[in-house]
Chain A
Amino acid sequence: RKEVEQDPGPFNVPEGATVAFNCTYSNSASQSFFWYRQDCRKEPKLLMSVYSSGNEDGRFTAQLNRASQYISLLIRDSKLSDSATYLCVVNTDKLIFGTGTRLQVFP
């Protein structure tokens, strides 16, 4: 079993749609959690950290459920520029990456 599991997608959604990605992790000792975004084999860029209390950054909302070892990302009002691969990342003693969920937003 992979340490961090994500649905690979692709998720194809129209502009303006709301889309949600989920992720599960296996190591209960994991300390911090992130969503990264990767465009077309470029470097991954930190989108946001994820906290148990939930956190929001504009159209993006992230949530962590430690009991279920589950992380989510919600994107509201999708834009064409949101098209990318979204990587769920978990920190144990180093960052462990999920394989990513591909999002394609169409006009």
Chain B
Amino acid sequence: GEEVAQTPKHLVRGEGQKAKLYCAPIKGHSYVFWYQQVLKNEFKFLISFQNENVFDETGMPKERFSAKCLPNSPCSLEIQATKLEDSAVYFCASSQTGTGTYGYTFGSGTRLTVV
């Protein structure tokens, strides 16, 4: 498709529960990026993929966060045992290049609320 599709739009989880977010990149885009935006507008890079391979995972909290991009499936970001501070909007973006030369196209985000 011509847009980055993220589901669900909203997700509410109790502390300690699992959260799973999905992202379908634009057709033909090889690179997928996940960002976390917390209340103060700060965008934190989490992880990127080139097709199904991890490209850069320097922003991923190692303990509770994991992500996958499998062939013929939406990419996913999973948070095990959510904490209150995981409440944020999670944006997925895709790009034809990994270097971001032309910028990225973002999905509309998943708003995760941990209560």
Contacts and interface: CB of A to CB of B under 8 A. Distances in A.
A97 B99 contact: no
Contacts of A95: 33, 45, 93, 100, 103-104
Given A99-B40, A99-B41, A94 B107 contact: no
A85 B109 CA distance: 17
A94 B48 CA distance: 9
B106 interface: yes
Nearest to A32: B101
A85 B37 CA distance: 14
B51 interface: no
Interface residues of B, number: 26
A52 to B, nearest CB: 15
Give the most central of A44, A85, A89, A100: most B CB within 10 Å. Answer: A44
Nearest to A99: B41
Interface residues of A, number: 23
Interface string B14-50: 0000000000000000000101010011110100100
Interface of A: 8, 31-32, 34, 36, 41-46, 49, 85, 87, 89, 91, 93-97, 99-100
6 contacts: A41-B109, A44-B106, A49-B102, A85-B41, A93-B99, A99-B41
Given A49-B102, A94-B45, 11 more contacts: A32-B99, A41-B37, A43-B91, A44-B91, A44-B106, A85-B41, A89-B103, A91-B100, A93-B99, A99-B40, A100-B41
Leading 5 A-B pairs by shortest Cβ distance: A97-B43, A43-B106, A91-B100, A46-B103, A100-B41
Interface of B: 33, 35, 37, 40-43, 45, 48, 56, 89, 91, 93, 98-109, 111
